[in-house]
Structure 1
Amino acid sequence: MGDQGAADRIVEFVGDWQGQVVATSVHAGHDVRPDLADLMVLDEAERYREEDPHTDRIAAVVPDRVVTHRSRFECDLNRPRREAVYRTPDDCWGLKVWRDAELPDAQFEGSLATYDAFYDALGERLDRVAERGPFVLLDVHSYNHRRDGAQAPPAPVADNPEVNVGTGSVDHDLFEPLVARFLSDLRAGDLAAGPVDARENVAFEGRNIAWFVHDRYPRLGCVLALEFKKTFMDEWTGDVDETALERARLALAAALPGLAEELGRLDG
């Protein structure tokens, strides 16, 4: 990555990476390469709505974390490689992203290079974490709950918790006590002026970040894929509620000591 500015880097590591709890926020970025920007016709506000703005600020309560500035519309780092580049509308919720019917081969290959560079760098860093013993990666995302329109009622709370904790590929035989402790500690926090509605695998179970870690580090890596409902911002205007965002940050921060304790038991 050399001396490039942070926004030009594919992946940036923050912290000393000496702890066993780390975080990612791979959909927080908004930047795209200039050759992609020249071809992009998707309205910027619509692109922003499908990204996960401010999740990097939530993840920042974890000292050791990955910062990615690139948009998921350049390369979706939480999808398998074969699905990671949105070439046609069928790849991304029917949205027309590119001026032509399909993203050209040259740009497609450039975006796959983004994908490979990210996972190469992440794997190299996590290899060192795993050498020390079990670890947790908090994969922080957000999700829309007002898809019917700015003036329409939000999606039902029954199917849309404030925080969805995805554990679909976690080794539950080993990590179940840790998962249960995390959910308990997270629920004890204060989000939206009350206890946190945190539930497991309601709508999201975790995708490629989780699969990558669980395949590469069996019985060592545990990914908790966190989807924060966008009650901390207006998903249609992009306006952020700083008070609500800070509550989300504090709720997650309050659950970190419990993760450290549970990891200590596993490594004891």
Structure 2
Amino acid sequence: MNMSVARQTDDLTLTAAGEWWTQHRGQSPVVATAIHNGHAMRDAMKDLCKLSEEERLREEDPFTEFIVRDVPNRIVVHRSRFEVDINRPREGAIYLRPEQAWGLNVWAGDLPSEITEASLAVHDEYYAMLKSYLRGIERCHGRFVVLDVHSYNHRRAGPGADPAIAAEAPDVNIGTISMDRKKWAPVIDGFMEAVQSFDFPGGRLDVRENIAFQGRGYQARFIHEQFPDTGCAIAVEFKKIFMEEWTGEPFVETLRALRQLLASTLPVIADAVESVR
């Protein structure tokens, strides 16, 4: 297993051949993760996968690593969620049925147990690493906030169809359902205000809480279970306004603006964490 720290660049994608994830550590109570950024699959699973590269990419979260790149504490997973989904419990981390994968038939036949266990080992090791990593942040700062960054599709009806209606698809969806919302209100409210007030190209973003998603992913739940008094995990879902979701084409200036936006919230979150009791 190779978990070396990758060099920060201005490229839109991060080369991490063979790595399960990369991690960075800095002096901050804020951590960002991009656990669905990855596209890589082991050859043994790729050979059995029926989906095209484009079909997989459509349900992954490309470029989320770029958005979090200015956060000193960050973890980026490089394996595709179609090999093992870090944001689901171990027993559901491999999509064996279409209803687990947006109706997609992922595999050409049954997966041998030795293949699935090798991928589930990534899930096991990730959460062992995450717990240790966050213990370190906790030791240094007492409390911490994890920005669990994802993206979501809003043109599911097809490339030429109308997008999802705005009432159901905010530009930024904040998921908070698995946390003690009252306790962490200064953090959540401060973060949302910072995102809403950012001078985004083309106009300020529509930021709402628990609309398209509620933050029910496994990573957020794990953090709140393991760190009930000291850890706050915010699921941050960016609508794919930064790319063409049917072709994978990135919109470079929008991505740069989102990266600047996220970095601008760090001092706000750090100050708000100090007020939580």
3-state DSSP class of the match of 2:185?
helix
Deviations 1:222-252 (A, max 9, x none): 0110000001000001100001111211222
Task: Indicate conservation of the 8 Å contact 2:143/2:273, yes or no.
Answer: yes
Deviations 1:148-190 (A, max 9, x none): 0000011101110000011111212211111111111110013
Deviations 1:125-170 (A, max 9, x none): 1111122311000000000000000000111011100000111112
Q: Given the alignment, which residue of 145, 163, 171 partners 1:162?
A: 171
Distance 2:224 2:3 in 1: 33
Matches within 5 A, 1:107-126: 107-126=115-134
How many residues align? The count is: 265
3-state DSSP class of the match of 1:7?
coil
Matches within 5 A, 1:81-92: 81-92=90-101
State the shift of 1:123 in Å: 1.0
State yes or no: 1:202 paired with 2:211: yes
Distance 1:224 1:8 in 2: 29
Task: Indicate conservation of the 8 Å contact 2:2/2:18, yes or no.
Answer: no
State yes or no: 1:218 paired with 2:207: no
Distance 1:210 1:192 in 2: 30
Distance 1:62 1:122 in 2: 16
State the shift of 1:14 in Å: 1.6
Report which stretch shifted further, 216-225 or 185-194. Answer: 185-194
Alpha carbon RMSD of aligned pairs, Å? Answer: 1.6
3-state DSSP class of the match of 2:229?
coil
- Greater helix share, 1 or 2? 1
Distance 2:42 2:35 in 1: 16
Deviations 1:8-62 (A, max 9, x none): 222221233x321011000000001111111112111010000000001111121
State the shift of 1:192 in Å: 4.8
Task: Indicate conservation of the 8 Å contact 1:190/1:247, yes or no.
Answer: no
Q: What is the match of residue 252 of structure 1?
A: 262
TM-score (normalizing by structure 2): 0.91
State yes or no: 1:180 paired with 2:189: yes
Q: What is the match of residue 16 of structure 2?
A: 6
Distance 2:125 2:65 in 1: 20
Task: Indicate conservation of the 8 Å contact 1:25/1:56, yes or no.
Answer: yes
State the shift of 1:265 in Å: 2.3
3-state DSSP class of the match of 1:67?
strand
3-state DSSP class of the match of 2:276?
helix
State the shift of 1:2 in Å: 4.8
Distance 1:225 1:180 in 2: 14
State the shift of 1:208 in Å: 0.8
Uncovered stretches (5+) of structure 2, i.e. residues with no partner: 5-14
Report which stretch shifted further, 209-218 or 120-129. Answer: 120-129
Task: Indicate conservation of the 8 Å contact 2:32/2:148, yes or no.
Answer: yes
Q: Which residue identity is paired with 2:99? A: D
Q: Moved runs in structure 1, 4+ residues, more than 4 A?
A: 2-5
3-state DSSP class of the match of 1:218?
coil
3-state DSSP class of the match of 1:253?
helix
Report which stretch shifted further, 45-54 or 187-196. Answer: 187-196
Distance 1:57 1:250 in 2: 10
Q: Given the alignment, which residue of 219, 238, 243 partners 1:233?
A: 243
Q: Which residue identity is paired with 1:97? A: V
Task: Indicate conservation of the 8 Å contact 1:87/1:108, yes or no.
Answer: no
TM-score (normalizing by structure 1): 0.94
Distance 1:117 1:159 in 2: 36
Q: What is the match of residue 105 of structure 1?
A: 113
Q: What is the match of residue 36 of structure 2?
A: 27
Q: Given the alignment, which residue of 121, 127, 136 partners 1:128?
A: 136
